[in-house]
Amino acid sequence: MSTEDTSPAAAITRWKFELSRRYRHILDKSTPHVGQRWLGCFVVAMVYVLRVYMVEGFYVVSYGLGIYILNLLIGFLSPQVDPEILDAEHGPSLPTSGSDEFRPFVRRLPEFKFWYSITKAFCIAFVMTFFSAFDVPVFWPILLFYWVVLFTLTMRRQIAHMIKYKYVPFSFGKQRYDGKRAESTSLSED
């Protein structure tokens, strides 16, 4: 006798698990392909923008999407351990040498999760554009103006925080050193 459950609920559970495993496998394989992932995100975003433009509505959904993306951007630009909180707990510290040791920037929201969350948000917002319940009539220039003001104030505060605590949230890869190149010598025989 087999101990395997053959009920419909067990079959659905196995199917969901297998589907989840395949989805996770695809995501894992896409991790090193940063450019292609962001290109795909850009395509999804353009499809959403085209949909909103064509139906001339769903501005509240777009505003909510913009606020969510701004929140994700702040998480992406913020350090995992906020130096402001460390200063409050331990007090300001003096440097122990002329140049403190290098500490790499660790993000509160890693790049992969940032990409995944933005792409998923655009997909959810796109699906929402097919339901008229989310098409609230609103004067969209006011929402756009409010979002621009919110973005400007938030970025100004974030940049001031970056300057105050001297961190840069971007790294452009490992520094490469070019060694001395061996000059090719021609062996001329006299």
Question: pLDDT (tens digit, 0 to 9) for every residue of the chain, 190 residues total?
Answer: 455 678 888 889 999 999 999 999 999 999 999 999 999 999 999 999 999 999 999 999 999 999 999 999 999 998 888 777 766 666 665 555 555 555 677 788 999 999 999 999 999 999 999 999 999 999 999 999 999 999 999 999 999 988 888 887 776 665 666 666 555 555 554 4
Output the pTM of the full model.
0.77
Residue 106 pLDDT: 78
Residue 80 pLDDT: 83
Which of these, 161, 162, 176, 166, lies nearest to 103 by C-alpha position?
166
Q: Assign 3-class secondary structure to the chain.
A: CCCCCCCHHHHHHHHHHHHHHHHHHHHHHHCCCHHHHHHHHHHHHHHHHHHHHHHCCCHHHHHHHHHHHHHHHHHHHCECCCHHHHHHHHCCCCCCCCCCCCCCCCECCCHHHHHHHHHHHHHHHHHHCCCHHHCCCCCHHHHHHHHHHHHHHHHHHHHHHHHHCCCCCCCCCCCCCCCCCCCCCCCCCC
